Structure 1
Amino acid sequence: MKVRVDPELCQGHTLCAMTAPELFGLRDEDGHAYAHSAEVPPELEDKAREAARSCPEQAIVLS
């Protein structure tokens, strides 16, 4: 599974980083999220899905 955060949609709610800090970080300059890596380890796929569901802006893209 791959993950990315759409920077045009992210509003910095931080829910993804709270849900899956292993997968997401927050930029210092604006608090918007980014994925630490495009590749999601198999053992973290459920957390990636949960983070995507929790995003109010639907900025997390899984593929």
Structure 2
Amino acid sequence: MVDENEIKGGAKEIGGKIKEAAGRAVGNERLEAEGEVDQVEGKTQKNYGKVKDAVKDQIS
């Protein structure tokens, strides 16, 4: 079963990629950097969800 954090993290990671690309396209370094941060946060949340799900499976 997929954990809620995996879904939310994946969405944040994709949003970060879009934000980074938009920042790069318009030459806005701050927007580009925010996109990179969002990607890291999203990937971290997604991985947390995977670990949480794996632990849940091991306990069951």
Q: Same fold (TM over 0.5)?
A: no
Query: Which one has the largest radius of gyration?
Result: 2
**Greater share of residues in strand:** 1
Q: TM-score, normalised by structure 1?
A: 0.33
TM-score (norm 2): 0.34
Bigger helix share: 2
